[in-house]
Chain A
């Protein structure tokens, strides 16, 4: 099972290395979102600093929507998903492999977005460990949720418009908890940062459980 997960993950990462969609298209889009937010907030440094945590997660969520769409676009073309299944791969292995690849790509997006915050919004990090742990939990949760919804909408004619409508509201718990944890780590809130990270972990575990239950039904019918 885990070998199959690795094979699918590796396949997606090799495709990404060749096509460079994350690096050339998604990362610049995420950075552009951070810049556009600065325009929207009148480039007010104190306002941008106060909202930096939330803006980071919103930008990464947009990146996750694009990444999830891309992850299943490459399978929809030419019936690759059917080929993977005919090749004997378990539906769960396909789903987790794709989720792992998307999570790694989102970590890359997150690193660039965090650098964007430091440079563009002039924020100061007070707790790096909290940033890293909350960030990894949030990216993994976005990746699993995005993969599930990507599998749900693959092959549908309205997938382009439907995926953001489905994914953005349902990812709200991650957005809310991630924002709170980052606010504490960036020193803009005196809340319980680790409690919010614990909530992120609970949401992540819930998505993992749903993913285990849903892999078969989603990929058998895709």
Chain B
């Protein structure tokens, strides 16, 4: 009986739904088009609590950037931290939600690092799907 339960648990899918995160992000991207935003890149990741994904980005001086994340319903709090090319924190999202946004206008053209954190999940041992977009105008 116990072995059957463990086997079933092992087969249970991780609580991650990249598709729903992606659908949420796509809606935001298309809404953004109406306000003059365009998309450079949209991508997905599946993360456990405490994990993060780092994206290298080139930002043009004078261009406004908005970095958006949508988490699936398995995540309570996702965060974005923007670092400059030397690793200094430039900007951080502080909202306690699963759809963080960071806006930034670079003073000079350079490379930056965007860290997307799965800060708090609903279930220990679970995983969450997070979709990230770099948009500009």
Is this pair of chains taken from one and the same complex? no
Chain B residues packing against A (C-beta within 8 Å)? none
